[in-house]
Amino acid sequence: MSYYIPDGTTVTMNSRELVFGSTIEQMQDTDDIREDTAALQACLAKEGYLLFRNFHDREQIMKARGEILAYMSEEDMLRPDGPVEEGGIGPGNRSTIFRHKIIQDRFPSFLEVVNSDRIITFFERYLSGGVLSLDHKWLRAVGHGVHTNAHCDVVYMGKGTKQLYTVWTAFDDITLDMGPLAVNLGSHQRHQLKATYGASDAHDDLETGWLSDDPHEVTDMLDTRWASTSFTMGDVVIFGMYFLHGSLDNTSVRYRLSSDTRYQLASEPVDVRHMGDTPDEILKAADRKTMAQARREWGI
């Protein structure tokens, strides 16, 4: 599969047009330094992310994908006149983040992938110690017209160590029109953003964790740029808690299947809200500020 995206290719994020070679660029893989821990650490510090192609075994991903799609078929989420394995969007166009209990009960092959020796061994080497993964796994089926707005993960899971890492995993061959991950290059180096928005909590003091629903506002505000690419099953992107990201619009007729899972040193503090049997039932404070109110106070 060719990942080359010609300049002039247009995509959208919340219906705002982005043009490759102008307002968005191609993400670059880091496969050539995969075994060089020092180089990987330097790259993540500079670029904000690592991209590994075919990190997970394709057959394992397909097995997990089969379990997910079988469940979606039972729930009448898929196009009734198409093959289940296509993942075609049904009449209801029902995007979902699968509940923790469903993942535990129905998707053992998914858990085998995201808890595999392959990913754990990588982080043990990268972090030089024993690691754990948060129990809370975000597994998404993203429908037509849906995207994710710009945000940093620290506002959702910042009560433990800040040396927590997100792994975004493709559970399909995801083309640009399916709404893949988009990252905001340079955002992890914006100190004012880190000290204001990055010090907040979407459960305790913010009504929403989205910094902005306008990708152009983000780049103007932070003097940054967006990047994205197409993905194949088993590709992963790794980034830290202060790296701004979102996703492009899914303008296709197929669900985008992807997951976000988190890894850290086992010896570091853990955000216990995302551990245990009900990590997706976090209580939220009643008197949280709107993002507009918070941004006025922050001056961003």
Please tell me the predicted confidence (pLDDT) of residue 166. Answer: 99
Which of 3.40.50.2300, 2.60.120.620, 2.40.30.170, 3.40.640.10 is the CATH number of 39-268+279-298? 2.60.120.620
Model pLDDT for residues 234-278, shown as the tens digit of each residue? 999 999 999 999 999 999 999 999 999 999 999 999 999 999 999
**Could you tell me the residue ranges of all domains in the chain?**
39-268+279-298
**DSSP secondary structure code for residue 103 in this structure:** H
Structure tokens at 87: 């993942």
Q: Are 188 and 48 in contact (CB under 8 A)?
A: yes
Residue with tokens 């993960």: 153
Q: Rounded CA gap, 109 and 3, in Å? A: 27
Please tell me the predicted confidence (pLDDT) of residue 291. Answer: 98
Please tell me the predicted confidence (pLDDT) of residue 1. Answer: 66
Q: Are 135 and 127 in contact (CB under 8 A)?
A: no
Please tell me the predicted confidence (pLDDT) of residue 57. Answer: 96
Q: Are 218 and 114 in contact (CB under 8 A)?
A: no
Q: Which residues pair with residue 231 across a beta bridge?
A: 174
* Res. 2 pLDDT band, cuts 50 70 90: confident
Structure tokens at 165: 């890492």
Q: Rounded CA gap, 106 and 125, in Å? A: 31
* Res. 134 pLDDT band, cuts 50 70 90: very high
Task: Report whether pLDDT(189) > 70.
Answer: yes
Model pLDDT for residues 80-98, shown as the tens digit of each residue? 999 999 999 999 999 999 9
Please tell me the predicted confidence (pLDDT) of residue 182. Answer: 98
Residue with tokens 């705002």: 16
Q: Are 30 and 52 in contact (CB under 8 A)?
A: yes
Task: Report whether pLDDT(186) > 70.
Answer: yes
Query: What's the mean per-residue pLDDT of the chain?
Result: 97
**What do you get for the CA distance between the two ends of the chain, in Å?**
40
Please tell me the predicted confidence (pLDDT) of residue 148. Answer: 98
* Mean pLDDT across 289-295: 98
Please tell me the predicted confidence (pLDDT) of residue 274. Answer: 98
* Mean pLDDT across 38-63: 98
Q: Rounded CA gap, 161 and 223, in Å? A: 28
